[in-house]
Amino acid sequence: MYRLVKLKEEKVFKDPIHGYIHINDQLIWDLINTPEFQRLRRIRQLGMTYFTFHGAEHSRFNHSLGVYELMRRVLSHFRRNYALELQDDEVALGLCAALLHDVGHAPFSHSMEHALHMKHEIWSRKIIESSNGISTILNAFKPGFAKEVSSVIANEHPNKLIESLISSQLDVDRMDYLLRDAYYTGVNYGNFDLERVLRIMRPHPKLESIKNDPNTPKVVLKFSGWHAVEDFIVSRYQMFWQIYFHPVTRSAEVLLGKIFKRAQDLARSNYTFSFMLEPLDDLIMNNVITVEQYLRMDESFMQTVFYQWMDEKDVVLSDLCRRLINRDLFKYQVLPADEKESKRICIEMEQLLRQKGFDPEYYMETDYPKDTAYHVYEVNGPLIKTPIAAIDNQDHLIEISNLSVIVKSLGEKKSVGATNLYVPELKNNEVYER
């Protein structure tokens, strides 16, 4: 039996989304105070979005605490109202996995991961399993516990209820980031009735018999309340198209990608950087770094590098960094749906860029966003993700797109945005000097 040691006095964090985040367990308090978790204060939740929505300065630290708080509330609701029996180490598993699910995020989140082919899930697992602070604390609670928490993030843990609360189509991660990102960007799209959604969630009444069936959700909805979840799915759809895929944010991400590309190309041609911070050199050269090295990187670290690189003798790298620091982003134009026509425009643009002295390799990019708000079945194909379902009085499950015409239409096909072409603003008669 493993017991969660209670703090002498409850600790709280004031939070704009949930009012208060409540910490009762010594284990959670110790994890929050590790350098690995504190680093998340220095990683923005929405990467480059602050260039478009200036309020979006909130961090992965805020979001991680929010996900923990929602997990704490859901587990307590399941135990109080549905007599779900959980041992202390199962509660700890849920709380720790919620708190630590994003601990491996890189600076600028997805933008840098994309540019350097890194995956934050893999780094989260490495940090949980082998960092000095976090893994030691987890394993002191229960031998092998770090590995257990990490396996929840990898969807490899036998406790599928906890896993689905962290990562499914109705999970506490999404619930927190939709509300939080809407609040900090200042928009209304992401709002939904969180209290109602939490109240209508319940564990599947035959959890034991369905626990290994990927087609059956482990958490189901009280039938009378499914409209609240319909609203949650619509919120997600709107946040993706209005905020996460905003073309100006994408433009900043394109620029960041080009900086890394140029830096990598220079490093591979034995260029000597006048400024370099360890471990960035190892990362751009070999893509192999240790957990300790990875944890040294945060957004202040990267901003320092970009700032110093404005003075590099390589004109392309210094120009790209100047653009990023001063928000002189590439402009975008929407390409026509006709593929031939779109190709012709791109070829012409490449020629124009060359005439103006820009290398299209570093100054041109096409990009199209795509997402499906809710996954059920591929057309005529198998189930692709565990669906969301309501449960009636006879314990029959009804998949939500059979209840809601809105969810049905959102789930029917992948929404694909227009293809955008990103290039620097080209002024008349201006030729870029080399």
Q: Which residues contact Zn ion (rule: CB under 5 A)?
A: 102, 173
What's the CA gap between 170 and 165, in Å, rounded?
Answer: 7
Least distance to Zn ion, CB of residue 422, Å = 27
Alpha helix (H) residue ranges in 358-417 = 360-363, 405-412
Nearer to Zn ion, 112 or 421 (CB): 112
What's the CA gap between 160 and 218, in Å, rounded?
Answer: 7
Nearer to Zn ion, 167 or 404 (CB): 167
Burial 226-241 (b: 16+ CB within 10 A, else e): bebbbbbbbbbbbbbb
Nearer to Zn ion, 157 or 258 (CB): 157
Least distance to Zn ion, CB of residue 177, Å = 6
What's the CA gap between 80 and 111, in Å, rounded?
Answer: 42
What's the CA gap between 68 and 101, in Å, rounded?
Answer: 9
Nearer to Zn ion, 173 or 181 (CB): 173
Least distance to Zn ion, CB of residue 97, Å = 11
Q: CB under 8 Å to 80, separation ≥6 — which residues? A: none
Nearer to Zn ion, 173 or 319 (CB): 173
Least distance to Zn ion, CB of residue 289, Å = 23
Least distance to Zn ion, CB of residue 400, Å = 23
Least distance to Zn ion, CB of residue 65, Å = 11
Nearer to Zn ion, 163 or 173 (CB): 173
Q: Contact 426/349 with Cβ under 8 angstroms?
A: no
Q: CB under 8 Å to 136, separation ≥6 — which residues? A: none
Alpha helix (H) residue ranges in 33-59 = 35-38
